[in-house]
């Protein structure tokens, strides 16, 4: 294991998960979940800034519409998606990046489902 890999892995918090069977699910549990936990505060700050850049429309919405706003922002804003993806992929080891490239579509789907869940859980704090 290279020094860079050891350093990247040492930053990650532990996350308890259920046993996984498929390669994408294992990657989700061993890589994505710990990285999202590590980056949680930054993800929240980034979304707060996203709201500000869009003239605080979010704050004028009712709770149900706020959740819809979060979901739609993640699904429709390609530039925002790329930015969020970079926040996580930048913490991959070389081996994890290789795995990501082999299963990019499935891992991206899982990544954005997890990001969506995290942001929705903070919907009242934006």
Query: Which of 18-32, 61-75, 80-94 comes out lowest in average pLDDT?
Result: 18-32
What residues have CB less than 8 Å from 97, skipping those under 6 apart?
Answer: 89
- At 21, the pLDDT band (50, 70, 90 cuts) reads confident
Which residue from 74, 79, 57, 78 is spatially nearest to 115, judged by alpha carbons? 74
Digit-coded pLDDT (tens) for 102-122: 999 999 999 999 999 999 999
Question: Cα–Cα distance between 31 and 25 in angstroms, integer?
Answer: 10
pTM metric for this prediction: 0.93
From the centroid of its chain, how far is CA 11?
Answer: 16
Digit-coded pLDDT (tens) for 31-51: 999 999 999 999 999 999 999
Helices assigned H by DSSP within 12-125: 23-27, 33-38, 40-53, 63-76, 78-89, 94-102, 104-121
Whether residue 84 has pLDDT greater than 90:
yes
């Amino acid at each position: 294991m290279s020094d860079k890999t050891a350093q990247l892995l040492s930053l990650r918090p532990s996350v308890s998960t259920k046993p996984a069977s498929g390669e994408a699910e294992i990657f989700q549990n061993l890589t994505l979940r710990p990285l999202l936990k590590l980056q949680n505060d930054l993800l929240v700050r980034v979304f707060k800034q996203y709201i500000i850049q869009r003239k605080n429309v979010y704050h004028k919405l009712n709770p149900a519409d706020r959740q819809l706003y979060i979901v739609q922002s993640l699904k429709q804003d390609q530039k925002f998606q790329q930015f969020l993806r970079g926040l996580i992929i930048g913490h991959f080891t070389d081996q994890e990046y290789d795995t990501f490239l082999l299963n990019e579509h499935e891992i991206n789907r899982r990544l954005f489902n997890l990001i969506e869940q995290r942001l929705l859980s903070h919907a009242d704090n934006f």
